[in-house]
Amino acid sequence: MGYRFPLITAHCGSMNTIDHTLDSVQTGLRLGADVVEEDVRVTKDGIPILAHDDEWVTVDGLKLSISQMTFEELRELQYEVTHGEQRETIQICRLEDMLPLIQASGKVVNLDLKVHESIEPVAALVKKYGMLEQVFLSGCEMDRAMLAEQLNPEMRKLLNTDHNLFRTLPYRDAMVKTCEDALGASCFGINIHYSIVSQELMDYITSLGLPVYVWTVNEEELMRQYADLGVASITTRNVTDLVQLKQKMRGECS
């Protein structure tokens, strides 16, 4: 059995593309990512869209709340976003606009749910496209993970680590509690900020059969460090360097 490098997950907005756009998704897929990550919210009429924040600003400076407007109302407008030092104009993008790209690529998408209300409409779309094997959910701390399990147990999901546990409890207690929560909500793995991950955590979590997905790692030295620890996936905006590191480390192991 050869060296197994972590899955390469392209964070939304990877390689200096604009977050929550089809260009961002296509860039991650084109550069060789195994997984593309996107944030999801829902409109007032329950349409899942690609968005991190509820508040968006139009080119005219009007502040709008995604959750308080229908998709038809939102798509008539253009929005300004900060992109580096520039302000860029974009239009809102539905999850349904993105799923066919993932389906055709044969790759996987990690849908980071920002609100409970997104669970059911997201699951309905995934089932509509027959993509249960190409989609998993994240953004699920214990309450959202339990709700997702109750509403749509067939949807695969990661448990998002509650960072407060690691601030308020001894490290091992926080680690054990995290795993108990993941197993209790039938999550297939743990989604965790890389800074919390240690060898102790990796040994304990993997002994339970739970893969560890880390975010967001953009420097090659850290990428190598967490690949060596044996994480299952590294989320990055710097897809090119992670792909190159994969090739380099495979060469070192051959």
Q: How confident is the model at residue 157 (pLDDT cuts 50, 70, 90)?
A: very high
Mean local confidence (pLDDT), 65-85 = 92
Report pLDDT for 2.
54
> For 2-48, what is each residue's pLDDT tens digit?
569 999 999 999 999 999 999 999 999 999 999 999 999 999 999 99
> For 90-144, what is each residue's pLDDT tens digit?
999 999 999 999 999 999 999 999 999 999 999 999 999 999 999 999 999 999 9
Report pLDDT for 235.
98
Report pLDDT for 108.
98
> For 217-231, what is each residue's pLDDT tens digit?
999 999 999 999 999
pLDDT at residue 86 greater than cutoff 90: no
Round the average pLDDT of the chain to a whole number and report it.
96
pLDDT at residue 254 greater than cutoff 80: no
Contact 188, 158 (CB under 8 A): yes
Q: HSE (CB half, 13 Å, CA atoms) of 95? A: 31
Residue whose tokens read 């066919």: 100
pLDDT exceeding 70 applies to what percent of the chain? 98
Report pLDDT for 1.
42
Mean local confidence (pLDDT), 139-158 = 98
Indicate the angle between helix axes 171-184 and 142-151, nearest 10 degrees. 10
Q: How confident is the model at residue 81 (pLDDT cuts 50, 70, 90)?
A: confident
pLDDT exceeding 90 applies to what percent of the chain? 93
Mean local confidence (pLDDT), 206-219 = 97
